């Protein structure tokens, strides 16, 4: 395959920005440009305050961006100049957002690939030489065909395109590690001579730092579907363990012990079996819904229902968690205060997209409780936006909502505390102090991944653990 000297990413988000940074860091011989239409975001990538809070990312970004290696020129650039970047690049990686469609046919289920299609149109119109166009965004299965159509019908005379699929599997909080040492890289291509050659050219870039056997080439549509399938299977494990946690709470079995028992079977494995308030994050729900939509379009209603059940269990886990605490207060939360520790969708991130904490807080507010929230990374304005609470307009509710600067502050005067995100900092909270500042009945509710019930009970707390019966 041809050696590559210039790659352009379009979309400097979580995926585009982080992937470009690792690629530029590992491939000093390749010029990498990341284009975003959002000038503020582009500026943030050029600064010390990256738009993405990932451990180790700033160090990775700085080396190629600021030319920190003695012999190295700068090879990572963030810009809003889309046309010029497209023209220079041999490979264009599209990593724009593909949210669930909000209105019209398929709304609530179908991934909205209109932004991606606009970008592809822009590539077709700007390119003056042959390009490899890579779908990195998660897309509905079959999008590769649409992308090919747009490119073919809008290309300048003589300009040819190859379309590849290269879905991203990084998880937030561990993005750098996942990008440096991925379990696998998928490259989907058309099964033609030029398709295979394009895949090989792109694979040679990844092969700079990833063992060859981890770079898997397959057909375009297998690759598109594999992304949805991977997220559906990961989320399915969490819903399976959470569904079992309901049985545990009713029978006296302990979900942590059950997870250990089943996860010790090498065919099952231990990962993604931690019982929780449910899964959150920007990907699982939207990608499963996309899969459900695909099944419905194919008139596979029973298959659609099978995948959708993963989401139903996830919703149930949140509502029944609120109900469990409310029942502890004789179903009356008026005058009671609940502290919520952690508002992001998981630890080590400030991302709140689809966070379970949003529904938990709304549930307690709806029941009449006061709620105080602390998260180490999420800003007050973000929390209010996610809850849809406008301080000025919603006086009544706002009186019952406080955003705090520490876990201890949030717990002061609270009757119950719910650890919604398993941050280490909550594990090592000064729980003795918290016991003193809280109000009877001092209920602590969370996952055994973060809380030790024996220790907490000895301090005077009433402890409720997900997937464990209270005797």
Binding site for ligand UDX (CB under 6 A): 168-172, 231, 234, 238, 272-274, 276, 279-281, 283-284, 345-346
Instruction: Tell me which residue has tokens 């991130």.
Output: 349
Q: How far apart are CA 27 and CA 3, in angstroms?
A: 12
Concerning whether 27 is annotated as a catalytic residue, the answer is: no
Residue 171 among known ligand-binding residues: yes
Annotated catalytic residue, options 189, 283, 404, 450: 283
Burial code (b: 16+ CB inside 10 Å, e: under 16) for 356-387 equals bbbbbbbbbbebebbbbbbbbbbeeebbbebb
Stretch that binds ligand NAD, among 30-38, 250-258, 383-391, 409-417 (CB under 6 A): 30-38
Instruction: Tell me which residue has tokens 């009671």.
Output: 336
Residue 345: CB minimum distance to ligand UDX, A: 5
Residue 43 among known ligand-binding residues: no
Q: How far apart are CA 336 and CA 195, in angstroms?
A: 63
Question: Taking Cα atoms as reference points, which of 3, 5, 61 lies closest to residue 30?
Answer: 5
Considering the rule CB under 6 A, would residue 118 count as an interface residue with ligand NAD?
yes
Q: Would you say 5 or 79 has its CB closer to ligand NAD?
A: 79
Considering the rule CB under 6 A, would residue 203 count as an interface residue with ligand NAD?
no
State the binding string over 148-187 for ligand NAD (x if CB under 6 A, else -).
--------------------x-x-x---------------
CB 13 within 8 A of CB 115: no
Alpha helices in 2-72 (DSSP H): 14-26, 39-45, 57-66
Question: Taking Cα atoms as reference points, which of 282, 290, 286 lies closest to residue 106?
Answer: 290
- Residue 416 contact partner, candidates ligand NAD, ligand UDX, none, CB within 5 to 8 A by sort of partner: none
Considering the rule CB under 6 A, would residue 117 count as an interface residue with ligand NAD?
no
Provide CB contacts within 8 A for 287, sequence distance 6+: 111, 138, 227, 228, 231, 232
8, 9, 13, 383: residue in contact with ligand NAD (rule CB under 6 A): 13
Distance of CA 439 to the CA centre of its chain: 36
Residue 285 among known ligand-binding residues: no
Q: How far apart are CA 414 and CA 338, in angstroms?
A: 5
- Residue 276 contact partner, candidates ligand NAD, ligand UDX, none, CB within 5 to 8 A by sort of partner: ligand UDX
Stretch that binds ligand NAD, among 22-30, 92-100, 178-186, 326-334 (CB under 6 A): 92-100
**Residue stretches of the annotated binding site:** 36, 41, 98, 138, 169-172, 227, 280, 286, 346, 353
Residues in contact with ligand NAD by the rule CB under 6 A: 10-16, 35-38, 41, 95-98, 115, 118-119, 137-138, 168, 170, 172, 282-283
Q: List active site positions.
A: 283
């Amino acid at each position: 395959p041809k050696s590559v000297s210039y790659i352009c990413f379009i979309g400097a988000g979580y995926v585009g920005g982080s992937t470009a940074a690792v690629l530029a860091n590992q491939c000093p011989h390749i010029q990498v440009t990341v284009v975003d239409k959002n000038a503020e975001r582009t500026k943030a990538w050029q600064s010390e305050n990256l738009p993405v809070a990932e451990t180790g990312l700033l160090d990775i970004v700085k080396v190629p961006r600021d030319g920190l290696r003695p012999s190295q020129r700068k090879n990572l650039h963030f810009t809003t100049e889309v046309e010029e970047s497209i023209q220079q690049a041999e490979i264009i990686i599209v990593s724009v957002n593909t949210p669930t469609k909000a209105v019209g046919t398929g709304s609530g289920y179908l991934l909205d690939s209109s932004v991606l299609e606009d970008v592809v149109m822009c590539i077709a119109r700007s390119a003056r030489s042959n390009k490899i166009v890579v779908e990195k965004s998660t897309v509905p299965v079959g999008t590769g065909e649409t992308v090919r159509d747009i490119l073919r019908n809008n290309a300048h005379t003589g300009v040819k395109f190859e379309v590849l699929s290269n879905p991203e599997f990084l998880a937030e909080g561990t993005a750098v590690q996942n990008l440096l040492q991925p379990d696998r890289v998928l490259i989907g291509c058309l099964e033609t001579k030029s398709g295979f050659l394009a895949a090989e050219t792109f694979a040679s870039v990844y092969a700079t730092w990833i063992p060859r056997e981890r770079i898997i080439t397959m057909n375009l549509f297998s690759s598109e579907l594999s992304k949805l399938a991977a997220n559906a299977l990961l989320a399915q494990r969490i819903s399976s363990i959470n569904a079992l946690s309901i049985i545990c709470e009713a029978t006296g079995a302990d979900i942590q012990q059950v997870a250990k028992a089943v996860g010790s079977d090498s065919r099952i494995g231990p990962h993604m079996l931690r019982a929780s308030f449910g899964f959150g994050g920007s990907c699982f729900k939207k990608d499963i819904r996309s899969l459900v939509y695909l099944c419905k379009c194919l008139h596979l209603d029973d298959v659609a229902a099978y995948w959708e059940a993963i989401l139903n269990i996830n919703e149930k886990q949140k509502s029944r968690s609120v109900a469990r605490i409310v029942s502890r207060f004789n179903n009356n939360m008026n005058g009671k205060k609940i502290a919520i520790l952690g508002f992001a969708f998981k630890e080590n991130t400030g991302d709140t997209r689809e966070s379970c904490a949003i529904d938990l807080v709304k549930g307690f507010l709806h029941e009449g409780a006061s709620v105080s929230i602390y998260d180490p990374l999420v800003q007050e304005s973000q929390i209010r936006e996610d809850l849809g609470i406008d301080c000025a307009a919603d006086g009544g509710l706002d009186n019952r909502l406080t955003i705090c600067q520490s876990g201890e502050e949030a717990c002061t005067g609270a009757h119950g505390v719910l650890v919604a995100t398993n941050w280490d900092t909550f594990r090592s909270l000064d729980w003795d102090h918290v016991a003193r500042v809280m109000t009877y009945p001092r209920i602590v509710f969370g996952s055994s991944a973060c809380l030790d019930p024996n220790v907490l009970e000895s301090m005077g707390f009433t402890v409720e653990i997900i997937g464990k019966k209270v005797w």
